[in-house]
Structure 1
Amino acid sequence: MGPKKVLSAEEGDDIKKSLEFMTEEISAVKLQMKAILDLVEEVKALRIQNAEKDRRLAYLENRVADLEQYTRINDVIITGLRIKPRSYARAVAADNVGGPGEEDVNSTELQVVTFLRSKGVEVDYNNIEACHPLPRKNDSDKPAIIVRFANRKHKTALLKQGKKLKGSDVFMNEHLTKRNADIARKARYLKKQGKIQNTWTTNCKVFIKLNGTPEQAKVLVIRYMEELDKY
């Protein structure tokens, strides 16, 4: 080996400056890395917070939807029934209804009860708390009519007689919220396509019955539209 090269003072200073510069750069990189890691941890924490907020929001939205549906639990929606002006209702004999006098009854209520009884549908006038057309976009003489009963058993008793209206183009259904009505509509579409065996609503809950053998044909309650996507 040859003789070792002796660095000059100038070269030594350059190397020292280079090392100092590299040390400063490494320190700066370390600081930047720490800042990046801190930001990553902050992002993780925010994601967790957002996920928790999303879960909380979803819970509250579902709670509101359940409460909204509960307020309609005693309602029946009647569609396809032609409603006459009030003057016509007063011309209908009150004894066909078995309720109070003509001047005290609501026109829509009187016509609804009279029609139902004409079809053999049993309904007690005294169990009805309210009866009126729902808001509509046009002046149709066949608006959807809401009938609110004093309790759920009277509503259920009326709906069980729905078959007596067959052929009249008048239908009785539960008063579903928009969300549940959309779920029920999709479930009926799946039934029409043969992808499920049957669907119905009870106490404003949407049920479906799956295809297959008796062991496979389970009955499920559907609360969310996404639950139908698999079918």
Structure 2
Amino acid sequence: MGPKKNPQMDNMEEDVEDIKTSLNFLKGELAAVRLQQSSILALVNEVKTLRIQNDEKDTKIADLENKVDELEQYTRINNVIITGLKIKPRSYARAVTADSEGGPGELDAGSTEQQVAAFLQSKGIHLNCNNIEACHPLPRKNNSEKPAIIIRFVNRKNKIALLREGRRLKGSDVYLNEHLTKRNAGIAKHARYLRKQKKIQNTWTTNCKVFIKLNGPPEEAKVLVIRDVAELDKYQ
């Protein structure tokens, strides 16, 4: 007669087999998780690399935009913008006559120069038209607006001399300003807002660069050149 079987031993053997099966299954699952984890880490590293590359591209683009803006501003370095001055066009008959005779048409540069020079002369400002390379109104959004007028001088000294006389126009609603790029004009506008809010003492432009003077005693207040509007955020 053979040995008597122990049911408890049989159950234990079955449990051991089940545990081995479960462990093998878990090993397989763990291997799959590790494989997925490796794939995820690879993707994370790839994303980091792409972000670094994008940041480098953004930096290069920003540098190129800065250089383009600097070049554009340099081409305007000899210009003055007059705002608030109403320019009268020549009569249609005179314009037609001039055109038929081979002369310049309506609102030609000479006519604009003469009217600008006459107005400035009435305010005690002498404008030598021989120093002007070009003078004409800029396009406007609608006919009800007074067009801004651009004067391009043959050299920077003439421009600076005219801007210094701008104080004589106080109370006339006519203003003389440097011809800033859209970017620098935005910086200057924001700086004027800070001055109005008394967050800074003063702001002005020189050679198409925007300067601000910080609050503080005159002998201690710093003067800074602002090249990006974000630099003004700290003075809000």
Q: TM class by shorter-chain length?
A: 0.7 to 0.9
1:41 aligns with 2:48: no
- Matched AA of 2:131: N
- Matched AA of 1:66: E
TM-score, length-normalised on structure 2?
0.81
Contact 1:128 1:150 in 2 (8 A): yes
Pick from 56, 69, 72: which aligns with 1:68? 72
CA displacement at 1:120 relative to structure 2: 2.3
Pick from 95, 107, 110: which aligns with 1:106? 110
1:53 aligns with 2:57: yes
1:203 aligns with 2:235: no
Name the residue aligned to 2:22. Answer: 18
Matches within 5 A, 1:1-231: 5=9, 13-87=17-91, 106-140=110-144, 142-231=146-235
How many residue pairs match? The answer is 217
- Matched AA of 1:202: T
- Cα distance change, pair 159–140 in 1 and its aligned pair in 2 (3 A): same
Distance 1:12 1:195 in 2: 79
- Matched AA of 1:61: E
CA displacement at 1:10 relative to structure 2: 5.9
- Matched AA of 2:32: A
Distance 2:91 2:61 in 1: 50
Decide which moves more: 24-33 or 140-149.
140-149
- Matched AA of 1:183: I
Distance 1:36 1:82 in 2: 67
Runs of 5+ unmatched residues, structure 1: 91-100
Bigger Rg, which one: 2
TM-score, length-normalised on structure 1?
0.83
Root-mean-square deviation over aligned CA pairs: 2.7
- Cα distance change, pair 109–22 in 1 and its aligned pair in 2 (3 A): same
Among the aligned pairs, what percent are the same residue?
69
CA displacement at 1:48 relative to structure 2: 0.8
Distance 2:25 2:146 in 1: 87
- Matched AA of 1:164: R
Contact 1:84 1:141 in 2 (8 A): no
Cα distance per residue 1:148-197 (max 9 Å; x no partner): 11121111111111122233322111111222222212212221222211
- Matched AA of 2:178: E
- Matched AA of 1:129: E
Distance 2:109 2:30 in 1: 89
- Cα distance change, pair 164–214 in 1 and its aligned pair in 2 (3 A): closer
- Cα distance change, pair 49–78 in 1 and its aligned pair in 2 (3 A): same
Runs of 5+ unmatched residues, structure 2: 1-7, 95-102
Contact 1:74 1:152 in 2 (8 A): yes
